[in-house]
Structure 1
Amino acid sequence: MKNQTVTRPLAAVTAFSAMAALAFSGASPAAAAPPPSGGTGSMDHVGRPFPPIPNTVGVGPRQDGFWSAYGYSVVNPNVAPPGANDFRCKPREGQNPVVLLHGTFENGYNTWAGFSPALKKAGYCVFAPYYGRTTFLDRGGLGVVLPSITGTGDIGRSATQVGKYIDRVLKATGAQKVDIIAHSQGGLVARQWMKFGKAASLHAPEKNKIDRLITFGAPNHGTTLLGIAWIGTQMRKAGIDTTGFYSWLYGQGPIDQMVESPFVMRLNHYIATYPSVQYTVVGTRYDEVVTPYDSTFLRAKGVKNITLQDGCPQDTSDHLSMAYSPRAISIALRALNPQRYPRLVCTANPWFFSF
């Protein structure tokens, strides 16, 4: 990392951070075998397709932090964030519909209840689906006891599910392409859809269904989870692989995000980015879930890799609170329209304690 001193707040809460990271990344102390040769890219886990993403019910209030939004969504599952999921919306000239993809154990409301109203105010048609929810018997994890828990199913099938939802968005809005803003696992879902759902093309970019991909804390190269997943790698090399057990506990989707998982290796093999797609990849130095934080960056020509604290050290957002960072929102708006939103906001945003 460029600046080791900024991670010192984590040292005082190492155990707490590790538990939080386990809860919200689902990564397990297990490592991965070589990438599979076929299928969805999700560790050879196969099953019935996930059902179509359901419509949200009602609209929740704008929130200033993740935990207040999380609490609201537990009591009001499947509620839309303000400004989102109006299938009657027609994009303004020069704009694409914006699809917001949440992360693991999150949902379309508790991740985007600050982002969505800002995008709607800027005139965008916004869509925030709840994807990747399946049953415990389908390796959806124990979290499915709560109706607000989504994003735990394997990423291959989640990407197919999201792709069908995006086709619905395109048909309803009359648009040719979407822009995607993704948090955490959502970035991998988008990239899986682009690569294996044929939503982006090297040789026929005019057929792309996506124009811009903007990610926040996406585990593009997998996560070591503060070293826990690295220990799991050594365990696997020693012949002890507990991946199967943890996929039942947390869900298959979280396991796909481990460093050196078959899913991550296959996703990044040969084609990792598409020159015709505009990439903005954002990481925070205080990320305790995607570690090291700069493993989110895609080192390819044309990709804009941004550290949230560069030029704004008072923003101490961690993995969850970055979705409520005014600076993060301004980065997304600039990526969508740099002429209209050239300046970035700089204000304090808390680490973890996001209410």
Structure 2
Amino acid sequence: MRSTLRGSLVALVSVIVMCGAAAQAGPALAVPGAESADAAAAQRLTDYINAGSPAGRRAVNGFKHDADWSGPTRKLPPIPSTVGVGPRQTGFWPAFAYSQVNPRVAPPGANDWSCKPKAGQNPVVLLHGTWENAYDNWAAFAPVLKKAGYCVFTPNYGRTDLLDVGGLGTILPGTNGVAKVGRSAEQIDPYITKVLAKTGAKKINLIGHSQGGLLARYWMKRFNGHLKVDKLITYGATNNGTTLDGIGWLGRSINNVGLDVLAPVTLLVGSAGIDQTIDSPTVKYVNNRAPFHDSGQKRVYPDVEYTIVGSRYDEVTTPYDLTFLPGYRNVKNITLQNGCEQDTSDHISMSYSPRALSIALHTLDPQRYPKLVCSSSPWFFSF
């Protein structure tokens, strides 16, 4: 029954949230605990797509990679300040409803520009996902982190309109993260610079949900942001993209053999959604073309500590283990249900999971928060 319900709501979730779409370009990930059938299927899809005709190449933001139809490329305006503070929420849907009436409200505990970090602490920057906003994504996380003593900041990034290829979701006032990932990275770069300047910190800790995780890594590469990051934590991030239950890889494979089906789809879902489709230029750029010191590693920087969290019930980043990064010494991949089967959080409810919150606290300060919480957390219907 649960599997049937999940399948019937996949389309709804992808339209409401659309927090990722693409699949890994390259060898299948060898992730402890990953489901081999999903990994093998993802590899077969990748091999098929890579066999297609190559896309054209052009310069984008100073570097070259395969180009999708992308619409306008002008810079986004500076990130607007949040206005007011909303109440703490225990589930996504009440937070979503509140943010549609108050689209620029901050989650409780966030965006206090007078905050100074305590000794040994870095400020924490939270990056929301596609079609989400600072409030509905982080109305549970931000107050917990603030109570733990952290200076917390979260922007509303990537907001644009339908004519600027932001997708149909821009008709809703609280829909952000819809512009191309590269444009959003240009937008968050001065925001993070401001966080460092105002707090006097040398580094930040980054937490990203869905596109927010991919965006963090894109920014870390494009703007040498890895030099400013101590720890990166992602939840359901499209780190290697997603098949979106097959929809994403189908569109990409058709595009790669010369029939442009992604252009009209972009008008519907927005540029950010297409950036996260399988084998996209953005996903390939983040994972396969980075200058990495002398470590020889791909995908990760040796001077950043990575904690990558995925849920078996994720219906947007699929297969869910594509969120994981190769298991280098500075990378920890965590399946949310390992050791806590009663947590059935899906893509959108993950940021309201008590266990997910405890993973963040443990990662930021394992001495103060040595144990992970385990409690029931519902799939999709989080209130």
Assess same fold via TM > 0.5: yes
Identity %: 55
Q: Partners of 2:214 and 2:22 in 1: how far apart?
A: 20
Q: Partners of 1:213 and 1:238 in 2: how far apart?
A: 36
3-state SS of 1:306 partner: strand
Alignment of 1:187-202 (within 5 A): 187-200=213-226
3-state SS of 1:111 partner: helix
Q: Partners of 2:255 and 2:7 in 1: how far apart?
A: 25
CA separation of 1:211/1:36 partners in 2, compared to 1, >3 Å: closer, same or farther? farther
Q: Partners of 1:340 and 1:253 in 2: how far apart?
A: 37
Picking from 208, 223, 237, the partner of 1:182 is 208
Native 8 Å contact 2:20 2:211 kept in 1: no
Native 8 Å contact 1:185 1:219 kept in 2: yes
User: Which stretches in structure 2 are left out of the alignment for 5+ residues?
Assistant: 24-48, 291-298
Deviations 1:162-181 (A, max 9, x none): 11100011111111111001
Partner of 1:78: 104
Picking from 312, 329, 333, the partner of 2:361 is 333
Q: Partners of 2:262 and 2:8 in 1: how far apart?
A: 22
3-state SS of 2:350 partner: helix
Is 2:196 the partner of 1:170? yes
**Alignment length, in residue pairs?**
341
Picking from 266, 279, 282, the partner of 2:309 is 282
Residue 221 of structure 1, CA deviation: 0.9
Partner of 1:92: 118
Deviations 1:192-228 (A, max 9, x none): 110011112xxxxxxx111110000001111100111
Give the TM-score normalised by the residue count of structure 1.
0.91
RMSD: 2.0
Partner of 1:4: none
Picking from 334, 348, 351, the partner of 1:323 is 351
Q: Which amino acid aligns with 1:53?
A: I
Q: Partners of 2:20 and 2:81 in 1: how far apart?
A: 29
Is 2:234 the partner of 1:215? yes
Give the TM-score normalised by the residue count of structure 2.
0.85
Deviations 1:76-105 (A, max 9, x none): 110000000000000000000000000000
Partner of 2:279: 260
Partner of 2:382: 354
Deviations 1:309-338 (A, max 9, x none): 000000000000000000000000111111
Picking from 169, 175, 181, the partner of 1:155 is 181
Picking from 326, 329, 344, the partner of 1:299 is 326
Native 8 Å contact 2:20 2:237 kept in 1: no
3-state SS of 1:109 partner: helix
Native 8 Å contact 2:160 2:170 kept in 1: yes
Picking from 127, 148, 152, the partner of 1:122 is 148
3-state SS of 2:125 partner: strand
Residue 34 of structure 1, CA deviation: 4.9
Is 2:60 the partner of 1:39? yes
Native 8 Å contact 1:140 1:153 kept in 2: yes
Q: Which amino acid aligns with 2:85?
A: V
Residue 234 of structure 1, CA deviation: 3.6
Q: Which amino acid aligns with 1:276?
A: D
CA separation of 1:236/1:331 partners in 2, compared to 1, >3 Å: closer, same or farther? same
Deviations 1:51-78 (A, max 9, x none): 1111100000000000010000011110
Q: Partners of 1:264 and 1:23 in 2: how far apart?
A: 22
3-state SS of 1:268 partner: helix
3-state SS of 2:136 partner: coil
Q: Which amino acid aligns with 2:249?
A: W
3-state SS of 1:110 partner: helix
Is 2:258 the partner of 1:239? yes
Picking from 135, 142, 153, the partner of 2:161 is 135
Partner of 1:12: 5
